[in-house]
A and B are shown apart, each in its own frame.
Chain A
Amino acid sequence: MSEVIVVTSGKGGVGKTTSTANIGTGLARMDKKVVLIDTDIGLRNLDVVMGLENRIVYNLVDVTEGNCRIRQALIKDKHYPGLYLLPAAQTRDKSCVSQEQMRKLVDDLKPIFDYIILDSPAGIEQGFRNACAAADRALVITTPEVSAIRDADRIIGLLESDGLRKIDLIINRIRPDMVKRGDMMSVEDVTDILSASLIGVLPDEEAIVIASNHGEPVVGTDSLTGQAYMNICRRLTGEKVPLLNLYKPLSLRSRLSAFIKKKA
């Protein structure tokens, strides 16, 4: 049975697209069949981060409008045979696709893939609604900043009122040194404010910027971020017993919290 996951945040620039690319690649590394769908019509980025922009012939809107078959629009990843991308249209806008069409599209993809990951656009308008329409699980990305947390809170509220039950939190761009100095909110502070289950913490690292610019995911490298993304993927697949797994201390997180405790 395939799982449909939406990656969203409300605020822009917190790492939705990067996380989608890396989580998708991570799952593909675990031999899962994964499709990434870019729902940010008009401002597509996922293809650039994946380094697949020059292979786009058909896109999401072509599929929903019936200009091509789904198989024609799916782009195979450069490295992983089980990883595919369905790019967004760049010359159209969000209103080109309806929630109904997204649901149908996802239903068509379900028999083929283990994981369908939807990269949501920023905001809470039609694009976000489309991305969430078909999802059975959400990953909400936030950074330890007041504005991002405020938006994440709003997003979690909207997702809950849409009836989405499985909502997990990823906290991005944690800087241990700043947390130590008390200049940045800690992981605990953020989870307390949002009272959502935490599925991963990502450090603020140069490696991720470099990798994104090269069109390569960071998963699979030795970098902290790469390991952190891999851990998130493991937690995603082991979600048969979600609550137990979610709070299992993991290398990075335990290291971070040990770090914080030692200081306190």
Chain B
Amino acid sequence: MKRNSVIIKSNTYGLILILDPDLPFEELLSDVGQKFRDAAKFFKNAKMALTFRGRVLTREQERRLICAITENSSLNILCLVDEQPEAEEYYKEAIVRSTQADEQSDGQFYRGTLRSGQVLEAEKSVVILGDVNPGAQVISRGNIVVLGCCMGNVYAGASGNRDCFAAGLIMKPNQVRIADKTARSAITKKNDTGEYAIDPKIITIREGHLKLEPLNGKFFADMLEEKAEELSEGVSEKPHTDETAGSSDKS
């Protein structure tokens, strides 16, 4: 086997496969398989964009190469990118878009009450139709909404996204974490009857601290105002969006 028939190069957001132009395709295919089998441990479950270089491939050949890669490693190939000077930009956007979409806008529902000792872990935002009892835990890369009484531990923005929030109809959590910030409840057991009135509240990061606010008209008005400000800023200085995308990827 010619060892240098396949070279894997990488940039921050993806892989470039440099292929030998002269080798018969079948041989090349087995080399690619071999290469990724060797490197499977290194890549683990990474999410990557992929580019082929050095050889003109048909659709069918591309497909078979991707099959060879995924069969031999647990790498997730999110998209194929054509070779272009601004390729890195594309990689970045593609990756950021696909992961951020998971964290921010997409969500899932959980029906039922989480009891002590149960842990709900979610890649996306999560809405719980039930209570989160003391000793139970909800961990999400995105937001957490509890349509019930939240008395356990909630951890939103688990991958480091400080824009995430935790909200509930009754917010009495033991501990709250959003990204890298942690807070614990005050102990008020003496007057605690265990029965609470519905009082929707939301916890967000404000000026570097966790803040618990009532979820009412005023909050929504403030939120819309902030959003409008952000949008107008975004128009005036375009490169700024790049920075935020980069920082959210740090996670």
Contact = CB atoms under 8 A, between A and B. Distances in A.
Interface of A: 42-44, 51, 53-57, 90-91, 213-215
19 contacts: A42-B117, A43-B117, A44-B135, A53-B134, A53-B174, A54-B174, A54-B184, A54-B185, A54-B187, A55-B184, A56-B175, A57-B175, A57-B182, A90-B135, A91-B117, A213-B189, A214-B190, A215-B187, A215-B189
Contacts of B184: 54-55
The 4 lowest CB-CB distance pairs between A and B, nearest first, are A54-B184, A54-B174, A90-B117, A90-B135
Contact of B137 (A43, A55, A91, A214): A91
Nearest to A42: B117
B61 interface: no
Given A91-B117, A91-B137, A54 B189 contact: no
Contacts of A56: 175
B99 interface: no
Nearest to B174: A54
What class of interface size applies to chain B in its complex with A? 10 to 19
Contacts of A213: 189
Contacts of B116: 90
A51 B174 CA distance: 11
Contacts of A91: 117-119, 137
Given A44-B135, A55-B184, A57-B182, 13 more contacts: A42-B117, A51-B187, A51-B189, A53-B134, A57-B175, A90-B116, A90-B135, A91-B117, A91-B118, A91-B119, A91-B137, A214-B190, A215-B187
A44 B117 CA distance: 9
A122 B116 CA distance: 18
Interface in B4-63: none
A42 B135 CA distance: 10
Contacts of A54: 174-175, 184-185, 187
A54 B175 CA distance: 6
Which among A42, A51, A53, A55 has the highest number of chain B CB atoms within 10 Å? A53
Contacts of B119: 91
Nearest to B117: A90
Nearest to A52: B187
A90 B135 CA distance: 7
Nearest to A47: B135
B93 to A, nearest CB: 35
A55 B175 CA distance: 8
Contacts of B134: 53
A44 B118 CA distance: 13
B122 to A, nearest CB: 15
Nearest to B173: A54
A57 B137 CA distance: 12
A238 to B, nearest CB: 34
A44 B175 CA distance: 17
Nearest to B119: A91
A128 to B, nearest CB: 19
Contacts of B135: 44, 53, 90
A214 B189 contact: yes
Contacts of A44: 135
Nearest to B185: A54
B106 to A, nearest CB: 25
A45 to B, nearest CB: 10
A90 B119 CA distance: 10
A213 B190 CA distance: 8
Contacts of A55: 184
B191 to A, nearest CB: 10
A57 B116 CA distance: 16
A219 to B, nearest CB: 18
B179 to A, nearest CB: 16
A14 B60 CA distance: 71
Interface in B196-244: none
Contacts of A90: 116-117, 135
